[in-house]
Amino acid sequence: MGIDVEAVHPRRALLAERAVMPEDAAAAGPQSSPDLVATVFCALREAAYKCVFPSLRAPMDWSDVRFETDWRRGMCAVSVMPMAEANFSARFGFNGTSVQAICWQSQ
C-alpha cells in the first residue's frame, strides 16, 4: 500500500509537464484547475511508487504509471509498466487545500 498527501498550490502546475499525461488531463476535464490536476496526479503517482517499490526495488519514471481515472468518484485502475502482470487500484480526494491518494495491489 502507498499513501501520499500533497498541498495544492499555484506552482504545482509547473510539474504538470512531468506528472500529468495527456490522458490524465482528459479524464479530469476542462473545468478542473491545472494546479489541482497536477497535484492529484503527483499524489497518485507518488502513492503508486510507494506501493510498488518494496516489490520492484528499482526506480521508475512517472510515465511508467498509467491511470484509468473516474475523476468524479476519485477512483482509478492503475497500470505499472515494470509490473504489467499485477493489478493495482487507487483512490484520491481533495479538500480544497490538499490532495490525499492511496494505491494498493488488487486481486
Q: How far apart are CA 1 and CA 18, in angstroms?
A: 23
Contact 5, 95 (CB under 8 A): no
Q: Which of the four pLDDT bands, split at 50, 70 and 90, describes residue 71?
A: very high
Q: Of 16-25, 32-41, 48-57, 97-106, where does the model show the most confidence?
A: 97-106
Confidence of residue 84 (pLDDT cuts 50, 70, 90): confident
Using CA atoms, how far residue 92 sits from 43, 70, 82, 87, 99, in Å, is 8, 10, 23, 17, 7
pLDDT at 23 over 80: yes
| Cα 88–Cα 43–Cα 39 angle in degrees, nearest 5 | 135
- Percent of the chain surpassing pLDDT 70: 98
Confidence check: pLDDT of 13 > 70: no
Q: What is the value of pTM for the model shown?
A: 0.88
How far apart are the C-alpha atoms of 66 and 80, rounded to whole Å? Answer: 7
% of the chain beyond a pLDDT of 90? 42
